[in-house]
Amino acid sequence: MSFFLKRRGFIAGGISLLAHAVARADPAPVFRFDAIGGGAQIDLSRWRGHPVLVVNTASHCSFRAQLGDLQQFHEAWGPRGLRVLAVPSDDFGKEFDTAAETKAYCETVWGMTVPMSEPVVLLGEAAHPFYRWLRETRGFVPNWNFNKVLLDGAGQVVTTWGAPVKPGSEEMKRIIAPLLTA
């Protein structure tokens, strides 16, 4: 067999192995969040086929202006296929005492229509299953409010960003744009 044919077979075999590995990738678990103020649960599996941006928020945080950025990003990119979820948490001591206060503040001050969960725990063994999964599979643990997690259309983590990266920043747009379905 010539060198070219041997090399071609090796490359084809490598591609076959890669395709097999991708086909065997474990599906992302199904995560549900209780919607703030009651109502239907937010089931991330219903958003499969779309990129999803999950942001842990806090109303009293110095980064709270990102609530407005998050709303604007949702309005601009939602029609293009991006799904956004705001996940309030008081793990860093910067959220209202009740979900009702959080909801009222976000709607009144920031005009938020972004889907929002009830406040959840992000850290430790009491963490919401989504955040436990991030810790166990990616080693990602939010170290402050307004950490962002981008999931692809299959529910797998694409990347994460810390608090300083604003929703709708050029960095985010560059990574999210190729994932959009519309």
pLDDT digit string, tens, across residues 43-66: 999 999 999 999 999 999 999 999
Residue from 61, 85, 112, 120 carrying the catalytic annotation: 61
Report the distance separating Cα 57 and Cα 55, nearest Å. 6
Domain boundaries, given as residue ranges, for the chain: 28-179
In the chain, pLDDT over 70 holds for what percent of residues?
85
Residue 56's beta-bridge partner residues?
87
Pairing of strands 157-161, 148-151: antiparallel
- Judge contact between 47 and 130, C-beta under 8 A: no
Please tell us whether the domain made up of 28-179 is placed in CATH 3.40.30.10.
yes
- Is residue 106 annotated as a catalytic residue, yes or no? no
- pLDDT confidence bin for 28, thresholds 50/70/90: confident
Report CA torsion sign: 112, 114, 117, 122: negative
Residue 33's beta-bridge partner residues?
42
